[in-house]
Structures are given as C-alpha cells and as structure tokens.
Chain A
Amino acid sequence: MSSLASSRASRMVSATWRPFGARLDRSAGAVFILPAVVVILGFSVFPLLASLYVSLSRLKFVAGGVELKFVGFDNYAKLLFGIDRPHLLGVAGPLTAIGIAVLVAIYGLFAYLLFRYARGPNRTIGGLIGRVITTAIAGALVWLTVNTILTSGRPGTLVVTLVYVAVDVSVQYLLGLGLALLVVQHLPGRRFFRVVFLLPMMITPVGVAYLFRMLVDTSKGPLYPLYAHFGLTDVSWVINPWGARLAVMVGDVWQWTPFIFIVLLAAIETLPHELTEAAVVDGATRWQVFWRITFPQILPATTTVVLIRIIEGFKIVDLPNVLTNGGPGTATESLTLHAYTIWRALDIGGSAAVAYILLIVVTFVGVSYVNLFRRRATAAV
C-alpha cells in the first residue's frame, strides 16, 4: 500500500516536473547561448550602435557634463563633400596618359571578369548582383586612387590607407612565404633563424616606430655613417611624402612579415611528403613542385592569413603616428590616425564618422575577399 502511494506520489511529482523539464530541454540551447549573446550585445553591438549615434551627433561640453546634439549626416557630409573632403578623399588632378592607361586596364579586367562570370556555368542572380556592386565600389576606389596618385593631386587618408594595405600585405606575403620555404629546407641554423624571424612581431608597434624613426634619420642615428658614406646626409626620408610613406611601409613590413611567416611555415610543415616525393620521382622541377603541389595545398592558410592581415592593415596607426605624426602635411596619415587626430580635438562625432567609413571599407573589402577568393580557394582543396 505504502509502495503504491509512493509510486503515485512520484508519478504526480514527475507529471508536474515533466512540462518544466521539457521546456527547459527545449530552451537549453538558448539558455547556454544567452551569456555569449549578452556579452556580444554588451561589448560589440551596443558600442557599435552607440558610436553610430555619436557619428550622427555633435558633442558639446556644458556645465557638469556633455550634451549630444543630433545633426543627422552633417559629419559624413563634411567628410565626403564638405570642408574635410580633401583630407579624407584627397585632391584629384587632371588625368595623365599613364593614369588613363591604368584605368582602362583595370576597368577592362573588371569587365572581363564580370562577363566571364555572367557567361559561366555557376552563375546565379544573387552572385551577379553581388559582383556588380563589388565592381562598382572597387571601380570607384580605383578611380579615386588613380586620380589622386597618378596625377598632380594628392591622396587623402582613405587612399593612403589602401596603399598601405595593398603594398604591405603583398610584400609581407611574398617575404613571409619566401622565408617559410627557406626555413623548411634542411639548412644549417634553421632553428635559430626560425626564432629570429619571429622577433619583430614580439616588439610593441610604438617601439618599432621609434626604431625606424632613428634608422631613417640621415643626420644622426645608427645608420648615420652609412648615409654619410653615400653623401645622403642632406636628404631626408621623412620630409618627402612618398619617402615618409615608404618608411612607414618598411616598418610595417618588418614587423608583420613574421606573422605570415609563422602561419605559412606551420601550413607547409604539415603537408604530406608523399605527393612531393612522387612528383620528384616523376621528374617535376622545384618550381613545378611548388606551384602545382605546395602552393595549392597551403592556399586555405594563405587566404586566412591574408584576410587577417588585410583587416589589421586597415587599422595601422602606431607607425605613422610616432614616426612622422602623420606628416609631412597629411602624407602618412591613415584612416585610424585621421579619426584619432579629430578625436583629440574633441570632435567626437567627426571622429566616429571617420571610424564608420573605415568600418564600411574594411567590411566591403573583407566580404568581397571572402566571397571572391577565400571560398573558392578553400572549396578547391
């Protein structure tokens, strides 16, 4: 009797708990994800929305605090069409023959790629629309770059940043790949060099900037005897716009090549030897082994590391800030440094607008890169 009662009682309890338990089971996923969502909302989405609002406002200091006045797209208009346009977008000059040739070549390439996709077997409407938008924006950026660099005009912070990213990432990749291929060879001292090549990445960017500030000083500093030997003490890297940009790019390449090196080294070292050995037995040359076997296999790692470096490259600020303070003039100023200089004068709205323009450009370049290159590269393997 008592056992019957207890089993009835337990059935009643379980009947009460079952719906709650089932509900808990159903929402377990959401419950487990909730902390992460809260963290992302708190630390990512909310600041992003708040800074969007700030970019549409003007900040004023009033007695006892600050006042944010909504000004619509004023801050963006000032940057894109108003008084700060030359600073952000540069000044265009009349197109030269070289400029026209470059534009024709690049636009021709864009048109060919678009045409090939439209005629290809894998075309989709969504893919075509995406590619048309990408081509239009990329075309505008190319137009801006050619019109400000290959003419008598001058580039603004947007184009300077694009140049930094394009040159730095390309050179870093080529050097990083070369060093990784060298270090996997069975050469004496390769363990030592593996560590040495990593050192620049460990140094704080401000330290690197000061280091290069001393190295590019032709009138004093550690390389003075070298400059004096070649009679270069009366010229300066950092008073010429392209000399200063070159100094910044050399510093960035020096610092970040090790990052690409270490990722590619890891990728190359994990490759199976059988394929290479089979190719060598079949009489493949060293170039063929690299181009047909090694390179395709490290393509996923390549595209990932290049994507990371592109995103990081857009945010360059330490080197131009310490090396030249963005000078001469605004020649070495990147978008992040541009936002920083405006923020320093407490034009918080203008600074947020520059930061948002940077975010849009980085997102565009990142998404285009992933869609056009990375997916294809990873799918091919």
Chain B
Amino acid sequence: MSRHLARALVLLVTAVVAITACTNGSSSSSNQSFSGTTIRVVTFTGPQIAEPLQRRAPDFEKATGAKVQIITVPFSDLYQKLLTDFATKTNSYDATVFDPQWMGDYVPSGYLEDLTNRVQADSALQWNDIAPFFRDFSATFKGKVYTIPLDGDFQMVYYRKDLFTKDGIAPPATWDDYIAAAKHFQGKDLNGDGKADYGSCLAMKRSAQSYWAWISIASAYLQSQGTKQGAFFNTDTMQPLTSSAGAAAALDVYKQLSKIGPPEQLNQDVGDSRGLFVTGRCALSLDWGDIGPLAVDPTQSKVQDKVGAIILPGSKKVFDRSTNQLADCNATLCPYATNGVNHAPFAAFGGWSGAINKAAPAKVKDAAFAFLSYMSQPAQSSQDVTIGKTGFNPYRTSHFTNQGPWLSSGMSASAASDYLGAIQSSLQSPNMVLDLRIPQTAFYQQTALDTALAQFLAGELSQSQTMAQITDQWNKKTDEIGRTAQLDAYRSSLSITK
C-alpha cells in the first residue's frame, strides 16, 4: 500500500513539475498576468498585416488579460510616424509591425528593445523554426535580435498555368520570355467574360510599393556573383549601380511592361494588380507570396488551381563590373546560372516584423513580446500564412514542410508544391538579392527611386535622365550622411550569413 502511495506521489510530483515546466515554456500567455495592461501596436493600414493582428488580438486578450489596440497608418507614412514618435519621446506606440529595413535608422538611435534574451527564453516561439534568412535579415541587427518575423517576403512571378499549357508556352525563364508571353496574351479574353484582358498586371503607382518590382527586374542584370556582391552599390566606393548598363536594361524591360497591361497600370498599386490577377484578367503578374493564397480564396478568386508560381525570371546577359558593360553569362560571370540564365531572387522588403519600443513600461514590453510571440508561434502563423488577406507569407521551416494547412486552405497538392517550391528556391538561392538596409533607406527607395521611376514611366524623364537622377540623389544623400558610414552599413548588411 505504502509502495502504491509512494508511486502515486512520484507520479503526482512529476505531473506537477511537467505542467509547471510547460506553463513556463509556453511564455506567459496562458494566464491573466497582463490584466490591466494595454499594448498599442502600430502597423500599416490594412487589410493586409493589420487583419491578422486585429483578428487574433481578442483571443490573446482572453488568454492574458491584456488589451491590444491596433493602430493603422498608410504605408508611406509609417516610417516617419514611428521615427518622429520615438525621437520626440511621444511614445504613443508600444510596439510596431514594420519594415525591418528601417532598423538601420531605429536601432542605432536606441529606439527598439533588444529581444535577444527573450527569444531564446521563449520556447513556444520556436525561434529556430524560423528560416535562417529571416532570423538574420528581418530580425537581427549587428548580432542582436530586435524583431520577431511575422512574414517572409520574396517577389516571384505568377502565371496562368491553364493558358500557358493550352498555348504551349513555357513559364518565363528570362525577362525577355516574360515580355514575349505578356504580348502573346495581351488583348485576349482570359476569363471567358467576353472582354479583352491583359498580358501582365504590375503595380506601377507612385508612392505605393511599386519600386520593388523594378528592383526585382534589375536584380537579374545587376547581381550575378552571389548575395555578397550586392545589387545597389559598388561595395568598394558606395557608387550606385543605378547608372549602369544593367540598370538601363532593367528600365527598358520596365517601360515595355508598362505598355503591356491595363490602361490604368501607372495608377495601380499592389491591391489593384492582385485583384485583377485573381479575377482572371491577367496572364502574368509579379508579386510577393500573397497571390498564392488569394488565388485559392473562393470568395474572390476565379483562377482556383489555374495559377503557377516561379522564381523571378533572370537574364542571359548581366552587368560586368570590370568592363561596365552587359556581357553574356559564362561560368566566371554567372557562377550560379541555370541553363545560362542568371536568376537573382529578390528578398524584397524582408517581411513584416514585430518590434517593441524600448521606452515602453516594463510590463507593457512583456505583454507586447508575448503578443508578437503569440502571432508568430506555429499554431497561429501556420494558419495565417495560408490566408491571402493576411499579407503574411511563409517564413518558418514548418510552413514549408507541413502541407496540411495549405491543403486545408483549398490549395491542391500540386499548387502547394509549386507555390512553396518557388519560395524555397528563392530562399535557397546563393545569388539571392538582399534589400537595402542602411540609414535613410526610406529616402533612397521610397523617395528618390520611386519618384524617378514614376517620372520615367510617365515620360517625364528619358532613360539616361532617370539613371542620372537616381544616382545623383543617392550620391547626394550618401555624402550628406557620410560615405564611409554608409559604405560600412551597406557592407555589414551584405555580410549576413544565410
């Protein structure tokens, strides 16, 4: 009897220890420890990104007692809103889901909380399940973790598999192929509604998220020797690559694409181009991972199971930095080429990530971390990345290996393999192009590059004037901040090991 009692006691103690360990491990989100704490999280105006935060906040509130307030501002305002809020010590935001490229401005100024110890201590977050690239690029700055990735961003090309198969056209391997295919389908009825449709739909509106598409095109011409070569500046002189034969080739492709598409293309943002693609009005599109889940959303898609996804098209000619000219790919110039085509998949933006305001009260910081961790944990994120309207794309190893949630979302097994395969091949490419992450990145891209590209498309600037304007403005800003400091920042951003 006493032996039974002893055994029962041992079992009881083991169970209590196990439960306690589990409770500690699953972060502090399973009790009401944040009762009375309000977390103010700012992000960009939805529906994307804000939607999953708003949808999941009530569950988190119920579990922890915290109150989550999601504040949204337009994408183009988010950078300066955060910076002015931090700099003026207004501190009206406790946490943010933002563009990790801006860490170059926020971290050196000491505005963001160092999360290194927290992510290591939070077993429920499963930090090592997050793909190494996103842990390094989106989360880490100079060896310390400042954000929790909530999204994985690569631009890739989507095409109408049914139409391409029917007409015997192969998915585009190069940008020339892309243009040829787009021209082939332009003006044809692609969704059976009797109206002429479009060969390609891109976002080309100014002050939106359009300039990333041009970088996606330019990457193929500007970077061929691996990630550390960089696609924006010469890594010795910090001279922009925007006045090169590679940039000229990319501008040429961009201009041609502006004429193969909807008449309003120059005034369309990603929301417009996605809408047109999933309603079957376009044969091709260039976008982040969002179109994959949107294409299987029965409430809006007319192209379910008709969409293929591929790595960004490449080029057979690349910019040779030793001769300053475009040259045919060979084993030396394009060591990572496939069938003579240099692919340079562009990790555009890096993926929306959550960070915490260093100046927030300690308890609010704890609650904010718990909320961001909750959003990223596989239980939540594996569902969210399969929903198109979330704007969240896969970024964890489990998102790629576990096809269950994708199949439940309505994607067929072949579509899921196709879609995840395109992202994975981008993610694993040794020639992946990293997005810019230096101080005042927002000026280089969102202002200087974006304006010049819009002027080029509108015919206000010629090709050479466009290149000269971007280069002059980038150089002026670099000199204003300090060429050596910017070069160091650029170099260190490229030294990230994948």
Contact = CB atoms under 8 A, between A and B. Distances in A.
A349 B471 CA distance: 21
A329 B450 CA distance: 9
Nearest to A343: B80
Interface stretch (B132-140, B200-208, B315-323): B200-208
Contacts of B208: 325
Interface stretch (B241-249, B264-272, B324-332): B264-272
Given A218-B264, A219-B263, A329 B446 contact: no
Contacts of A341: 207, 447, 451
Interface string B436-478: 0000101100110001001111111100000000001100100
A328 interface: yes
Q: Output the residue of A61, A64, A326 with the most chain B CB within 10 A.
A: A61
A328 B109 contact: no
Contacts of A346: 79-80, 83-84, 440, 442-443
B80 to A, nearest CB: 5
Given A58-B480, A233-B263, A236-B263, A329 B455 contact: yes
A330 B447 contact: no
Nearest to A342: B447
A87 B454 CA distance: 13
Interface in B259-291: 262-267
Contacts of A331: 458, 460
B25 interface: no
Nearest to A82: B476
B264 A239 contact: yes
Nearest to B195: A233
Contacts of A217: 264
A147 interface: no
A236 B446 CA distance: 25
A145 interface: no
A328 B267 CA distance: 7
Nearest to A58: B480
Contacts of A87: 451
Interface string A223-249: 000000000011110110100000000
Given A83-B476, A324-B206, A330-B455, A345 B266 contact: no
Contact of A325 (B206, B461, B473): B206
A235 B266 contact: no
A65 interface: yes
Contact of B206 (A58, A218, A327): A327
A326 B476 contact: no
B77 interface: yes
Contacts of A235: 263
**Which of B108, B207, B473 has the largest number of chain A CB atoms within 10 A?**
B207
A113 to B, nearest CB: 35
A83 B474 CA distance: 11
Interface string A138-166: 00000000000000001000000000000
B47 interface: no
Interface string A60-71: 011111100000
Contacts of A23: none
A344 interface: yes
B458 A61 contact: no
A326 B206 contact: yes
Interface string A281-309: 00000000000000000000000000000
Nearest to B447: A345
A235 B267 CA distance: 13
Contacts of B10: none
B265 A239 contact: yes
B89 A65 contact: yes
A238 to B, nearest CB: 5
A329 B80 CA distance: 22
Given A83-B476, A329-B454, A329-B458, A347 B264 contact: no
Contacts of A324: 206, 267
Contacts of A63: 108-110
B454 A327 contact: yes
B446 to A, nearest CB: 6
Interface residues of B, number: 41
A62 B109 contact: yes
Given A83-B476, A154-B460, A325 B207 contact: yes
A347 B80 CA distance: 10
B80 A328 contact: no
Nearest to B480: A58
B251 to A, nearest CB: 14
Nearest to A213: B267
Contacts of B456: 329
Interface in A334-364: 341-347
B69 interface: no
B263 A61 contact: no
Interface in A50-85: 58, 61-66, 83
Given A64-B109, A329-B460, A236 B83 contact: no
Interface string B358-375: 000000000000000000
B457 A329 contact: yes
A342 B456 CA distance: 19
B61 interface: no
A222 B76 CA distance: 28
Contacts of A328: 206, 266-267, 454, 457-460
Contact of B263 (A64, A66, A239, A327): A239
A218 B195 CA distance: 13
A32 B84 CA distance: 38
B105 interface: yes
Interface in B99-117: 105, 108-110
Nearest to B460: A329
Contacts of B480: 58
B12 interface: no
Nearest to B87: A66
A77 to B, nearest CB: 12
A65 B266 CA distance: 39
B470 to A, nearest CB: 11
A239 B447 contact: no
A61 B443 contact: no
Contact of B458 (A327, A342, A345, A347): A327
B240 to A, nearest CB: 14
Given A325-B206, A327-B266, A331-B460, A345 B442 contact: yes
Contact of A345 (B110, B205, B443): B443
Interface of B: 76-77, 79-80, 83-84, 87-89, 105, 108-110, 205-208, 262-267, 440, 442-443, 446-447, 451, 454-461, 472-473, 476, 480
Sorted nearest first, the 3 A-B pairs with minimum C-beta distance are A329-B458, A328-B458, A329-B455
Given A325-B208, A328-B459, A344-B447, 11 more contacts: A218-B264, A233-B263, A324-B206, A327-B206, A327-B458, A328-B457, A329-B455, A329-B458, A329-B461, A330-B451, A344-B79
